[in-house]
Amino acid sequence: MKVWARWFFSLQIYIYLEPNFDMSLPLLLLIISNVFISNKGFSDVQFFDRYKFSVFQLQKNEYFRLLTSGFLHVNTAHLIFNMFALYIFGDVVIQITGVYLFLLIYIASLFAGNYFTYFNHKNEPNYTAVGASGAVSGIVYSSILIFPQMKLVLLFLPIPIPGYTFGILYLLYTLFGMKSRRDNIGHTAHFGGALAGFLITLLIYPSLIYMQMYLILVMMTPLLMYLVMKSRGKL
């Protein structure tokens, strides 16, 4: 399985924001759903295998796995770090977009991350994956776009940096990981989910295109790099 360490990068992030402990009910229910279903998967191997992302099973038209795999996690650490990131960034998005648009971004990013994974690994029938990382990445990118003044502190760089700087570096790191395949992190789901969250947010708030044109162009650089590398067979 190539996804047990998807949570790794989340471990290295602290948010330089005042946390809001008045969590919205939909966000709480989403986190509870992830915890409940993941715990079921921890103790029931057949349940886990039935609903995980699997290229082989998707090629047999089991498309429900594009959704269900996003509520399973490999272990407790994987679950905790994804849910922590969802709690922090999700609250930012909900406060600005409202619940329904937040859920739209979350679910669309989940499907996009998994479809992007399938697109890049369709010739690897043994490839499997689980985790909410694609959906969470979409929420992270949405929050960065609508609140670019957000500050982040990384463990390896204990200096607050702008959210958009983190976003660019993260996609470049993901792109490198997709090319090198030197670890077990599900880089493709991260990339697909992040792009979905980014693009959907622009569709919802097209005024951002004019307000943050330079930022958007810079953050789209990794996508252009991906397209060039993919066309040249380097991914």
pTM of the complete model: 0.83
Q: Which domain holds residue 93?
A: 12-231
Look up residue 213 and give its two tokens. 């044109």
Residue 5 lies in a domain: no
| Separation CA 111–CA 67 (nearest Å) | 6
Q: pLDDT truncated to tens, each residue of the chain (235 aa)? A: 343 333 333 334 444 444 454 568 889 999 999 999 999 999 999 999 999 999 999 999 999 999 999 999 988 988 998 898 898 889 889 989 999 999 999 999 999 999 999 998 999 999 998 989 899 999 988 998 888 878 776 666 677 878 777 777 777 877 787 777 665 456 788 889 988 999 999 999 999 888 888 888 887 888 788 888 877 877 7
Give a yes or no: residue 201 inside a domain: yes
**Does residue 3 lie within any of the structural domains?**
no
Q: Per DSSP, what are the bridge partners of residue 13?
A: 154
Q: What is the C-alpha to C-alpha distance for residues 99 and 146, in angstroms, rounded to an integer?
A: 15
Look at the chain and report how many structural domains it folds into: 1
Q: Is residue 4 part of a domain?
A: no
Query: Of 168, 151, 159, which is closest to residue 88 (Cα–Cα)?
Result: 151
Secondary structure in 3-state letters for the chain: CCCCCCCHHHHCEEECCCCCCCCCHHHHHHHHHHHHHHHHHHHCHHHHHHHCEEHHHHCCCCCCHHHHHHHCCCCHHHHHHHHHHHHHHHHHHHHHHCHHHHHHHHHHHHHHHHHHHHHHHCCCCCCEECCCHHHHHHHHHHHHHHCCCCEEEECCEEEEEEHHHHHHHHHHHHHHHHHHCCCCCCHHHHHHHHHHHHHHHHHHCCHHHHHCHHHHHHHCHHHHHHHHHHHCCCC
Question: Which residue in 160, 157, 128, 164 sits closest to 54, CA to CA?
Answer: 128
CATH (domain of 188):
1.20.1540.10
The answer to whether residue 108 is domain-embedded is yes
Asked if 105 and 194 touch (Cβ cutoff 8 Å), the reply is: no
Asked if the structure places residue 190 within a domain, the reply is: yes
pLDDT value of position 154: 62
- Decide: residue 155, CB within 10 A, 0-12 exposed, 13-18 middle, 19+ buried: exposed
Residue 1 in domain: no
Do residues 47 and 41 lie in contact, with contact meaning Cβ atoms separated by under 8 Å? Answer: yes
With beta carbons less than 8 A apart as the criterion, state whether 184 and 133 touch: no
